[in-house]
């Protein structure tokens, strides 16, 4: 199974991604793009996208960017991630681009940028941990 296929399969198992309407748009080595519409069901109290939506696609794009450079028998989990929110996130579509900053054997440092049609709305920096792929 190719790296992209593994990532697509993993993405498809994340029911949260379907709940948010997120799509895996592009997989390249060390770089993954995920988009999500700002659904009526994903809003915060002022009518813009909830930070959890921005976080969800930023964290996932960063995590899959890490996975894209791992061996096939490895999965990754988020150890920690920080998000700086730069501006209110408005629809119709948010785009998260995750990238690998440094891939070590035990830790992968990642970053992601989330943007809406007007520009960047969030910046994330975090750490992914490779773990043995659990048996299916």
Q: Are strands 119-132 and 108-116 parallel, antiparallel or unpaired?
A: antiparallel
Considering the complex, state which of residue 2 and residue 104 has its C-beta at the smaller distance from its own copies: 104
Single out the residue of 3, 78, 91, 93 in contact with its own copies (rule: CB under 8 A). 78
Please, are residues 61 and 34 in contact by the beta-carbon 8 Å criterion?
Answer: yes
| Count of CB atoms situated within 10 Å of the CB of 77 | 10
Q: Could you give the string, one character per residue 12-51, with x where binding to its own copies holds by CB under 8 A and - elsewhere? A: -xxxx-xxx-------------------xxxxxxx---xx
Strand partners, 55: none
Please, are residues 89 and 48 in contact by the beta-carbon 8 Å criterion?
Answer: yes
Where does this chain bind its own copies (CB under 8 A)?
10-11, 13-16, 18-20, 40-46, 50-53, 55-56, 59, 75, 77-87, 101-102, 106-107, 109, 111, 120, 123, 125-127, 129, 134
């Amino acid at each position: 199974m190719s790296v992209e296929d593994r990532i697509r399969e993993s993405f498809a198992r994340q029911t949260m991604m379907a709940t948010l309407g997120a799509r895996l748009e592009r997989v390249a080595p060390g770089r993954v793009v995920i988009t999500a519409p700002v659904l009526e069901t994903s809003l915060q109290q002022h009518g813009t996208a909830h930070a959890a939506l921005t976080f969800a696609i930023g964290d996932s794009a960063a995590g899959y960017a890490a996975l894209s450079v791992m061996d096939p028998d490895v999965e990754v989990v988020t150890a920690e991630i920080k998000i700086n929110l730069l501006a209110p996130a408005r629809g119709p579509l948010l785009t998260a681009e995750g990238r690998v900053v440094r891939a070590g054997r035990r830790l992968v440092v990642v970053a992601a940028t989330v943007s809406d049609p007007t520009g960047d709305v969030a910046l994330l920096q975090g750490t992914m941990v490779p773990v043995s792929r659990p048996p299916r």
